[in-house]
Chains A and B, each alone.
Chain A
Amino acid sequence: MVSEPAVLLAEATPGPARVAASAATGTAAASGTVRELQERIKQMQSTRLSTRSLQTVPALAPLLPGGALQAGASYSVEGSHALLMALMAGPSAAGAWCAVVGIPDFGAEAAARAGVELDRLVLVPHPGDQWLAVASAVIDVVTVVVTATPPRLSGAVAARLAARIRQREATLIVLGSWAASEATLRITESTWGGIGQGHGHLASRQVLVSSAGKGFSGQKRQTRLWLPDAREQVRLVNPGFGAGAEGGWAQTDLADEWAAFAPEKLAG
């Protein structure tokens, strides 16, 4: 349904798209253009009248549809608290309240160091069988709600929750899978620096984060991030490459970056 107008539009567009499509070697570029246009159409055909973006850490922008967390949307993160914290850091620094429901192992110190204001962080470690009631009550008052879903959650309940999020303009970040999420972020590769065989200590980490979901119309994006770097910051590895383009990360000067940031760690 979406693809048809996109194709029409792509054909109707004068200039670069048609030129690229006509070029014998330009199929890849054409598909990129088509995808870009599809996204524009999707934004125009959005079910909501307007979406409000929350402030987000710049390094995560390429991984999120629209370049930022949207109020009233849900996202999911698989298997990484550090990614959760990086997602929360932006809104929290901008003055939003955050709540973590049902994650008793959440590391508060790491969250504080990642940029989450502890004064505006609320923890509900053990909601028990009251999960839905707690989550709904928290969604009413808190901007960013991070939660782990109970193992069995019916589709109706999830839909009710999603409706509530849209209505309250909260942002839901689910640890685990969540059918209605705009994007699912997961770490596919992780390399630690600073630790050797029996010496050093963990200092910095490079990760390859992949993001997929309906916000990207089923496509997958990957970005290489420092999570965290040696100065405990989350940032893109070599920002010139990762930004905007899917799979556009380059492995060329990785070693240079390692050397620049943790020269003594390379020895291991």
Chain B
Amino acid sequence: MVVWVPDWPVRAHALAAEISPDSPLAVVDRGLVFACSAAARAEGVRRGQRIREAQAKCPGLLALDYDDALDHRSFEPIVSALEALMPGVQVLRPGMCALRARGPSRYYGGERQAAQMVLNTLASLYALTAEGGSTPAARIAIADGRFAAEQATRMPGWPATPAQTHAPIIRIVPPGGSPAFLAPQPIEAIGDPALATLLRRLGLPTLGDFAALDFRDVRARFAEAGVHAHTLSSGSDVRRVVPRLPPQLRDVEMSFEPPLELVDQITFAFRTASERFVAELTHALLVCTSILVELHTENGAIHERSWGHPRWFSAADVVDRIRWQVQGRTGAGNGALGSAITKVRVVPQEFDSIGNYEAGLWGSTPDDRVHHGLSRVQSLLGHEGVMTASIGGGRGLAERQVLVAWGDPVEPAPKVPPPWPGAVPLPAPSTVFERPQAVTVRGAKGEPLEVSQRGVLSGIPSLFLPVADEPGAPVERLRPLQGWAGPWPVQERWWDAEKARAFHRFQVVDASGTAWLLALHDRRWWAEARYD
């Protein structure tokens, strides 16, 4: 038995983005249309089209980026509901799953009744959740093998909307009738485009024609891939339904009534829950290396963030992550929590066997000690308080040093760093200012300097003061420069109005022998870095 909800990805993404699934939509994966809604299909959008092509066909098309995890996650309630109904569900992909038909059909008194049961469950599930939009038009087909059942769900002739009678939504291929059912299907159904094209050119337009060949000839000509396709098309699909193991839910959640506003209240309340969470994992000989923390607020918003851990989460670590997330959100700025927190949910994302993290017999390694110490500092200062650095790409100095919070995964640097033409020449400055500092540079007579449109400097930089210029200050305060080089024009991201930068870089050596990397922008001088 195969249950298929057509256009599942579109539906899942539309609901996540709070758009009606009935509007023309396309889910786009790497520039190609991965799935589209019925409205878009009516306009001529097809799977596998390029996004430009699809937009040309249907100008009102809304493109959503494909998110695999979202797709699977949204299908999860349906799978759980089916599992509650009949055992042994295999998820073929989000939106389609296979079940063993024999047991349930005996239990419910017939294949049609069993299928009807599934439909009713799905309908009630959607009535309960009331997610808006139309009920998904689930299709059920029962056949001897998975392939035949899958083809039966895909065959044209299904009702367009579920508003019509329920009966045609179930299609049953009688036992032993699979070969006859598959025979008139087009050869493309075997799911191997290269082979299908070849077979069609060889004069085998349907599965029946292909199945009529002797399998030894097929093996001689097409090897194992061909034999597999031949078995499928002759209706003797030997693949069994491999039921998934229902995952054991290890999430912990805690609701607060009345809602809590203070960080300390929340973390204190969650402490026992997080201890239980870690204890349960330990009991199952697992450790958790990554968690997702969800904060539900009183006004219905959900803030979620995933946290990694270089080793594994202890109960205190989980509480720390919740604390940081709440603290990060309650501060000013975007994403601040608008209201009190009603529920905290911790979902483990990655597990590992506890054996891989066992401490040695004679204590732990030095790096573990470092980690413990730094985690303590993090609990004092917050997650972003302790950083590790790595060297990234870029022409600017600040953007080359990538700071990552301790515990977060560091992106490995490429083995051969790409060239950055226009980057500041080596050696690298030992002081890179967090914020550029205003400095004063003047010509020999104290006149201000500027760079013309053609990149010509109006004078020779001769006087320097490592603080901002005060209007009316005497020129005598400025010290002479020993050497200078520049201007080196920098024009970055001119295509992006917000991030565009255009200025001129200089290197200067001041009277004490300290060198500076300066930037001249709009007649104002800034020190980006110092070579001290």
Q: Is the CB of B380 within 8 A of A85?
A: no
Please report the C-alpha to C-alpha distance between residue A111 and residue B369 in the assembled complex, in whole angstroms: 24
| Binary flags per residue of B502-514, CB closer than 8 Å to A gives 1, else 0 | 0000010100111
A9 within 8 A of B: no
Q: Is the CB of A122 within 8 A of B513?
A: no
Please report the C-alpha to C-alpha distance between residue A85 and residue B377 in the assembled complex, in whole angstroms: 23
A134 within 8 A of B: yes
Q: Is the CB of A228 within 8 A of B483?
A: no
Interface residues of A in 1-20 (CB under 8 A from B): none
Within the complex, what minimum Cβ distance (angstroms) separates A209 from chain B?
Answer: 12
Please report the C-alpha to C-alpha distance between residue A191 and residue B514 in the assembled complex, in whole angstroms: 8
B270 within 8 A of A: no
B127 within 8 A of A: no
Given contacts A107-B529, A130-B381, A202-B507, contact A141 B372 (CB under 8 A): yes
Please report the C-alpha to C-alpha distance between residue A196 and residue B484 in the assembled complex, in whole angstroms: 6
Q: Is the CB of A199 within 8 A of B386?
A: no
Q: Is the CB of B532 within 8 A of A81?
A: yes
Interface residues of A in 112-135 (CB under 8 A from B): 112-114, 118-119, 121-128, 130, 133-134
| Binary flags per residue of B451-483, CB closer than 8 Å to A gives 1, else 0 | 000000000100000000000000000000011
- Residues in chain A near residue B389, CB distance under 8 A: 108, 111-112, 118, 121, 123
Q: Across the two chains, which residue of chain A brings its CB closest to B488?
A: A201
Q: Is the CB of B425 within 8 A of A201?
A: yes
Within the complex, what minimum Cβ distance (angstroms) separates A124 from chain B?
Answer: 5
Residue among A107, A187, A228 making CB contact with B401, cutoff 8 Å:
A107
B531 within 8 A of A: yes
Q: Across the two chains, which residue of chain A brings its CB closest to B513?
A: A190
Please report the C-alpha to C-alpha distance between residue A105 and residue B369 in the assembled complex, in whole angstroms: 27
| Binary flags per residue of B356-377, CB closer than 8 Å to A gives 1, else 0 | 0000000000100110111011
B194 within 8 A of A: no
A192 within 8 A of B: yes
Residue among B376, B433, B507 making CB contact with A195, cutoff 8 Å:
B507
| Binary flags per residue of A127-165, CB closer than 8 Å to B gives 1, else 0 | 110100110011011100000000000000000000000
- Residues in chain A near residue B377, CB distance under 8 A: 124, 134, 137-138
B315 within 8 A of A: no
Given contacts A137-B377, A198-B484, A201-B507, contact A105 B434 (CB under 8 A): yes
B81 within 8 A of A: no
Interface residues of B in 512-532 (CB under 8 A from A): 512-515, 529, 531-532
Given contacts A122-B386, A124-B377, A126-B385, contact A112 B369 (CB under 8 A): no
Q: Is the CB of B509 within 8 A of A107?
A: no
- Residues in chain B near residue A204, CB distance under 8 A: 427
B117 within 8 A of A: no
Please report the C-alpha to C-alpha distance between residue A107 and residue B515 in the assembled complex, in whole angstroms: 14
Please report the C-alpha to C-alpha distance between residue A237 and residue B403 in the assembled complex, in whole angstroms: 35
- Residues in chain A near residue B531, CB distance under 8 A: 82, 192, 202, 205
| Binary flags per residue of B399-425, CB closer than 8 Å to A gives 1, else 0 | 011010010000000000000000001
The interface residues of chain A, by DSSP majority, are classed as mixed
B327 within 8 A of A: no
| Binary flags per residue of A182-198, CB closer than 8 Å to B gives 1, else 0 | 00000101111001111
Within the complex, what minimum Cβ distance (angstroms) separates A206 from chain B?
Answer: 9
Please report the C-alpha to C-alpha distance between residue A122 and residue B427 in the assembled complex, in whole angstroms: 22
- Residues in chain A near residue B273, CB distance under 8 A: none
Q: Is the CB of B484 within 8 A of A107?
A: no
Q: Is the CB of B374 within 8 A of A195?
A: no
| Number of A-B residue pairs with CB-CB distance less than 8 Å in the complex they form | 159
- Residues in chain A near residue B400, CB distance under 8 A: 109
Q: Is the CB of B370 within 8 A of A228?
A: no
B42 within 8 A of A: no
Residue among B387, B433, B483, B486 making CB contact with A122, cutoff 8 Å:
B387
| Binary flags per residue of B48-62, CB closer than 8 Å to A gives 1, else 0 | 000000000000000
- Residues in chain A near residue B374, CB distance under 8 A: 122, 137-138, 141
Q: Is the CB of B373 within 8 A of A268?
A: no
A110 within 8 A of B: yes
Please report the C-alpha to C-alpha distance between residue A108 and residue B485 in the assembled complex, in whole angstroms: 24
A79 within 8 A of B: yes
A239 within 8 A of B: no
Please report the C-alpha to C-alpha distance between residue A236 and residue B391 in the assembled complex, in whole angstroms: 28
Given contacts A141-B373, A190-B514, A195-B483, contact A110 B386 (CB under 8 A): no
Q: Is the CB of B388 within 8 A of A107?
A: no
Q: Is the CB of B370 within 8 A of A107?
A: no
A241 within 8 A of B: no
Given contacts A121-B388, A125-B387, A192-B509, contact A134 B380 (CB under 8 A): yes
Residue among A114, A123, A130, A138 making CB contact with B387, cutoff 8 Å:
A123
Q: Is the CB of A201 within 8 A of B388?
A: no
Q: Is the CB of A118 within 8 A of B426?
A: no
Q: Is the CB of B513 within 8 A of A199?
A: no
Within the complex, what minimum Cβ distance (angstroms) separates A13 from chain B?
Answer: 43
B428 within 8 A of A: yes
B306 within 8 A of A: no
- Residues in chain B near residue A261, CB distance under 8 A: none
Please report the C-alpha to C-alpha distance between residue A263 and residue B512 in the assembled complex, in whole angstroms: 24
Which residue, of A112, A133, A198, A199, has the highest number of chain B Cβ atoms within 10 A?
Answer: A198
- Residues in chain B near residue A108, CB distance under 8 A: 389-391, 401, 403, 432
Please report the C-alpha to C-alpha distance between residue A198 and residue B461 in the assembled complex, in whole angstroms: 9
- Residues in chain B near residue A198, CB distance under 8 A: 460, 484-486
Please report the C-alpha to C-alpha distance between residue A196 and residue B506 in the assembled complex, in whole angstroms: 12
- Residues in chain B near residue A201, CB distance under 8 A: 425, 485, 507
- Residues in chain A near residue B515, CB distance under 8 A: 192, 195, 202, 205
Please report the C-alpha to C-alpha distance between residue A84 and residue B532 in the assembled complex, in whole angstroms: 10
Please report the C-alpha to C-alpha distance between residue A126 and residue B381 in the assembled complex, in whole angstroms: 9
Q: Is the CB of B430 within 8 A of A195?
A: no
A75 within 8 A of B: no
Please report the C-alpha to C-alpha distance between residue A232 and residue B429 in the assembled complex, in whole angstroms: 12
B199 within 8 A of A: no
Q: Is the CB of B406 within 8 A of A199?
A: no
Please report the C-alpha to C-alpha distance between residue A166 and residue B151 in the assembled complex, in whole angstroms: 76
Q: Is the CB of A138 within 8 A of B373?
A: yes
Q: Across the two chains, which residue of chain A brings its CB closest to B433?
A: A105
A80 within 8 A of B: yes
Residue among A123, A133, A189 making CB contact with B386, cutoff 8 Å:
A123
15 new A-B contacts at CB < 8 Å, known A113-B426, A192-B482, A199-B485: A81-B430, A109-B401, A109-B428, A118-B391, A123-B387, A124-B385, A124-B387, A125-B403, A126-B381, A137-B376, A195-B507, A195-B509, A196-B483, A198-B485, A232-B426
Q: Which 9 A-B pairs have the closest CB atoms?
A: A190-B513, A141-B373, A81-B430, A108-B389, A108-B401, A110-B428, A109-B428, A82-B430, A107-B432
Q: Residues of A at under 8 Å CB distance from B?
A: 79-82, 84-85, 97, 104-114, 118-119, 121-128, 130, 133-134, 137-138, 140-142, 187, 189-192, 195-205, 207, 228, 232, 268
18 chain-A/chain-B pairs, Cβ below 8 angstroms: A80-B430, A81-B532, A104-B434, A107-B430, A108-B390, A108-B432, A109-B397, A113-B427, A121-B388, A124-B377, A124-B381, A125-B434, A126-B381, A130-B381, A133-B380, A137-B376, A192-B483, A195-B515
